[in-house]
Amino acid sequence: MIFFHHSDAKAFEKVWETKGFHNPESAVYDAKESVLYVSNMDGEALKKDGKGGVSKISTEGKIIDLSWVKGMNAPKGVDIFQGNLYVSDIDRLVKINLKTKATKSFPIPNAKFLNDVAVDSVGNVYVSDMMDNSIYRVTKQGKVSVWLKDNKLEGPNGLLVIDDTLYVASWGIMKKGSTATSKMGNIKKVDINNKTISQFGSSIPIGNLDGIEADGSGGF
């Protein structure tokens, strides 16, 4: 895992690098404890082998607990809300209590390739399904539903909620049976209140986008 610092000059500088992970996919910062949680697939992206898990590391890159949570399959997107870590794991969302490590699973049976996770201000969890142009929602009460399914999402991958907007980093329009794209992705925004999809910035393809975070200056 490599940690970069983004300076005011818009350049990236490598601050530290940590080895020892097993196919790390995503990371999230816990501001309360000043640590990072990293999802490790440890195998194929869709293989249910129980080898995946989550690591806990310091903000200096020191591994605190490589196998903080074990027994997952191929965990990918992660987000934190009110003392819980939310992790996508192929066809389910897993909720992990940060203090006790107690877990609760929310199956999403029709999912094809769950990817990123984002939580809104009231605790609704959004999970992208890159292979099905879908975004699922798991409410704070645990109700699972297809929140939005639309080809305009163009392979939704990274998710980020800011106020009443869900920003989506799209992978692109994929060729049948493949993650290769006939058109690369860009950034979309979805109004959480009415589910209207619009373009953020230019509609010109940017690349096969993965995670998305705000840069603090109105961009990502």
Q: How far apart, in whole angstroms, are the C-alpha atoms of residue 204 and residue 72? A: 37
Domains present along the chain, CATH in parentheses: 1-107 (2.120.10.30), 114-220 (2.40.10.500)
Q: Greater confidence, 2 or 78?
A: 78
Question: Three-state SS for 130?
Answer: coil
Measure the CA dihedral 91/128/69/49, to 10°.
30
Q: Model confidence over 65-115: pLDDT tens digits? A: 999 999 999 999 999 999 999 999 999 999 999 999 999 999 998 999 999
Q: Which residue has the tokens 């940060």?
A: 98
Q: Model confidence over 20-69: pLDDT tens digits? A: 999 999 999 999 999 999 999 998 998 999 999 999 999 999 999 999 99
Q: How far apart, in whole angstroms, are the C-alpha atoms of residue 207 and residue 187? A: 10
Radius of gyration of the chain from Cα atoms?
17
Q: How far apart, in whole angstroms, are the C-alpha atoms of residue 164 and residue 166? A: 7
pLDDT on residue 9: 45
Q: What is the pTM of this model?
A: 0.93
